[in-house]
Structure 1
Amino acid sequence: MDQTSSSSAEQPKSKPTRRQFAQVVAGAAIGAFAAPAVVRGRNLNEKLNIAMIATGGRGAHNLEQFAGENIVVLCDVYEPAVAKAALTFPKAKQFADFRKVYDHAKDFDAVVVSTAEHTHAFATLPALQLGKHVYCEKPLTYNIAEARIIRLAAAKAKVATQMGNQMHATENFRRVIELIQTNAIGPVTEVHVWVSRAWGWQDPAKAKTLDLGGLSTVERPRESSEIPAGLDWDLWIGPAPSRPFADAYFPGPKWYRWWDFGNGTMSDLGSHWNDLPFWALKLRAPRTIEAFGPPPHPEIAPASMHAKYEYDARGDMPAVSLTWHQGEDKPKIWTEGGIPKWENGMLFIGSKGMILADYGKHKLLPEKDFVDFKPPEPFIPKSIGHWDEWVAACKTGSPTMSNFDYAGWLTEANHLGNVAYRTGKKIEWDAEKLYAPNAPEAEPFIRREYRKGWSLS
């Protein structure tokens, strides 16, 4: 039955102890999070001074969420985006280059980063090094090496951090986690996650449709289009390899399918949909990853593919496989009608049953086995709101649930799906060394050389 109501004949394990509860609250699904040490002595009624790095697109949405605070900096490589934001915040200083924002670090306490994926780490790292609180859009970074740099820098800075996977704050996710962690369906050994979005490259010979998500080409444009007035294209390119402007990249979200700027659906929606199993099952670094799909395109991420992760046992949780499916790829149990055919979903398979979930609801299966099931008393507290959680952490030192420790590991794992796909083999993963010992050809996908004038240091 749907939850809101729920369903197994067997009762869950006893309610977690006080210590277990504290670990959940602290985000201990993959390691305890230390509350921020850099707190400005404010209470919740005082306002933060925030620098907004990127004010168009997703940045405009985030600006709305933090509009009740003191917005002191507006920065965007596209001047019309800054000008529009300045209508609401006319006193804020205006910049095009986020690197110059940090020359005025004394003016702000916190930074919100909403740039394109390939510059997330570059806008975030200086803030952490200066002891500023940071909210960064998902995915946290462009590649695995950057995720590790940001996670470690955040641990050293001891500031309030939050990645923009706002579904992490939903009640539905919390209730599913409680069911899994109280053994409602028994130990979970298999998970499937699927999303219907099909933006990117698809082999025309095998695909039912060729959905480029609004792109007009899958080849890199050779000729330069006219650069929109007010756009600093060189700054937009940032650390990525230089190329002429084309409307195939800007405005967003077209850029996210091009390998030089993003990682397609895997890293983008993976930040949302893989979040729930990652949290519920206390996942961290996989042992192996293998991916399947059309032949990798040198320029564009795939529309349809799937990637299988194998994780070792964690504490009292057994080894588990997690398979990500996107576009036309769906789990076999879905295609054969073994579960309701939700357009997007997450399926947890345990020894006593299954949980099917999406963003807003969940269902225990088979329903007949859970008619008299009573869910555990909630033990993960209700969120005050994803954005509000970060603001409160900046002011008081309270924890955030999608902090950069948690988000860093999640981002690394999501990127590994694309690394396996682009490498074309089942890769073994050494998380400590950030290295695939059986696939040295994966190295360019784990880290990359930056364009002259750009570095993470």
Structure 2
Amino acid sequence: MPQPNLLNRRQALLAGGVAATAVVGSRALQAAANDRLRVAFIGVGGRGGSNLAAITSSGQVDVVAVCDVDSRATDRMAERHPKAQRFQDFRKLYDAVGNQIDAAVVSTTEHTHAYATMPALLLGKHVYCEKPLAYNVAETRRVTEAAAEAGVVTQMGTQIHAGNNYHRVVELIQSGAIGDVSEAHVWVSRAWGLQSKEDAAKHKDRLFIDARPTEAMTPPDYFDWDLWLGPAPNRPYNSAYFPGPNWYRWWDFGNGTMSDLGSHWNDLPYWALKLDAPKTIEAFGLPPHPEIAPASMTAVYEYGARGDMPPVQLSWYQGTDKPELWKQKAIPQWGSGVLFVGSKGMLLSDYGKHVLLPEANFTDFQPPAPFVPDSPGHHQEWLNACLGEGQTASPFSYAGPLTEANHLGNVAYRVGKKISWDPKRMECPGVPEANPFLRREPREGWSLG
């Protein structure tokens, strides 16, 4: 039976007689006055459970509802929060308690992020959404624009963004410690996805499937497969997709390492170099598979000048791919890292540490006075902002363009050629075969409204 269409529900969601902006104002004032926030948590297993624990640890949150397609997860959370209502379908959650909440936390799988987030934005509710912000470029843009229109507090789940190490790196790059940056290289060692058979043989603990499973399995009785599919094309249930993180390797449900870890690692150069929309993107790796994202690949982005910052090339490497400087052992052999190459030196960073290179040239270097404010914690800054104090550091206005850029690396990889990007038209001029990877029609019964 088709589920209610969100397009038809837009008017219903706003039928309370006030516009979204008015709802935002009244909700924010009420929450701030009460010093508490009424929150619905959508996706409460794994990462979702961690988000719920982190956000409720402040003692400033009332858990109004919990929702998950896996009833075991909602049962666990209901034991800890007995006053919370339980749901498997987030659309029914919004219908039932949409007027009772101030905010929503979305920790579903990647392909349903936008669909779980948009109803909250249409209701004028604050939103925390896990990374990546949405499944593809078009969905990401819709969510970004809807958040701006609603005027609510938003945050994408890039937890490392709040760490002091990233703050200090941004200050060093933007104050000119290594001069004008012409190159940035980002590499991660994770190798999940389609690999060569040689690589797969070396990593027997990692999933290696080279075709869509043909066996139709019966889903566990605690798991609603149809709801989990959501807007994705229909296919029979198989344990190759669920439980996670298996699903994220499959193009229909996720975008592999790029959209996942790219949200964390590309975040640093995107922030420090004030990047916007890339001009061109080219990717390299095994021939693209129609079903499964690659374990190893490289994507090269060209960005134009930004203010007083010159054009820069950003290269992404995943799996077995590494920068040439790393292969030549000209830099420390960190398993994952971000390398900035400037006219006066280099800076190498990971999540928790950084170093200026060559170290001998920076023996007497004095770092700039800190100018990126310390964070009370990634989750806490979102909660504080919802209660009227401060701002978030990874709002959708920032996280949206970052997510779009990450997706474009996969688009270039899947079309197998260098692409240009027109951010206003949201198209790759002269490459119509890119369109199916930029957007897709959802399954019947699902719409972003």
Residues 1:245 and 2:237 aligned together:
yes
Residue of structure 2 equivalent to 1:61: 50
Per-residue deviation, 1:241: 0.5
Per-residue deviation, 1:261: 0.1
SS at match of 1:374: coil
> 1:210–1:127: structure 2 CA closer, same or farther, 3 Å change rule?
farther
Determine the C-alpha separation between the residues in 1 that align with 2:361 and 2:310: 23
Q: What whole-Å deviation, never above 9, does each CA across 1:183-237 have from its counterpart, x for those lacking one?
A: 00001010000000000002326x4756586435231111211211211100000
Q: What whole-Å deviation, never above 9, does each CA across 1:328-382 have from its counterpart, x for those lacking one?
A: 0000000001100001000000000000000000000001110110000101110
SS at match of 1:333: helix
Task: Give the one of 49, 52, 71 matched to 2:38.
Answer: 49
Residues 1:121 and 2:114 aligned together:
yes
Residues 1:224 and 2:212 aligned together:
no
Determine the C-alpha separation between the residues in 2 that align with 1:84 and 1:352: 54
Identity %: 61
Task: Give the one of 139, 144, 148 matched to 1:151.
Answer: 144
Residue of structure 2 equivalent to 1:89: 81
Determine the C-alpha separation between the residues in 2 that align with 1:86 and 1:315: 51
Residues 1:439 and 2:431 aligned together:
yes
Residue of structure 1 equivalent to 2:28: 39
Determine the C-alpha separation between the residues in 1 that align with 2:153 and 2:64: 19
CA contact (8 A) 1:201 1:212 kept: no
Residue of structure 2 equivalent to 1:33: none
Unpaired runs of 5+ residues, structure 1, are: 1-35
SS at match of 2:381: helix
Determine the C-alpha separation between the residues in 2 that align with 1:131 and 1:43: 16
Determine the C-alpha separation between the residues in 1 that align with 2:202 and 2:444: 36
Task: Tell me the matched-pair count.
Answer: 421
Runs of 4+ in 1 over 3 A off after TM superposition: 41-45, 207-214
Residues 1:169 and 2:158 aligned together:
no
Residues 1:361 and 2:346 aligned together:
no
Q: Which has the higher helix share?
A: 2
Residue of structure 1 equivalent to 2:252: 260
Per-residue deviation, 1:167: 0.3
Task: Give the one of 192, 195, 209 matched to 2:188.
Answer: 195
CA contact (8 A) 2:200 2:208 kept: no
SS at match of 1:437: coil
Aligned pairs for 1:338-349 within 5 A: 338-349=330-341
> 1:333–1:188: structure 2 CA closer, same or farther, 3 Å change rule?
same
Counterpart of 1:62, as a letter, is: N
CA contact (8 A) 2:200 2:206 kept: no
Per-residue deviation, 1:39: 1.5
Unpaired runs of 5+ residues, structure 2, are: 1-23
Residue of structure 2 equivalent to 1:428: 420
SS at match of 1:190: strand
Counterpart of 1:176, as a letter, is: V
Q: What whole-Å deviation, never above 9, does each CA across 1:14-44 have from its counterpart, x for those lacking one?
A: xxxxxxxxxxxxxxxxxxxxxx856234449
Task: Give the one of 104, 107, 132 matched to 1:111.
Answer: 104
Determine the C-alpha separation between the residues in 2 that align with 1:210 and 1:289: 31
SS at match of 2:308: coil
Residue of structure 1 equivalent to 2:6: none
Counterpart of 2:100, as a letter, is: D
CA contact (8 A) 2:31 2:102 kept: no
Task: Give the one of 280, 298, 306 matched to 2:298.
Answer: 306
Determine the C-alpha separation between the residues in 1 that align with 2:196 and 2:216: 27
TM-score normalized by structure 2? Answer: 0.92
Determine the C-alpha separation between the residues in 1 that align with 2:282 and 2:117: 31
Per-residue deviation, 1:63: 1.0
Determine the C-alpha separation between the residues in 2 that align with 1:431 and 1:291: 19
Per-residue deviation, 1:397: 5.1
Determine the C-alpha separation between the residues in 2 that align with 1:308 and 1:254: 27
Residue of structure 2 equivalent to 1:456: 448
> 1:380–1:276: structure 2 CA closer, same or farther, 3 Å change rule?
same
Per-residue deviation, 1:409: 0.3
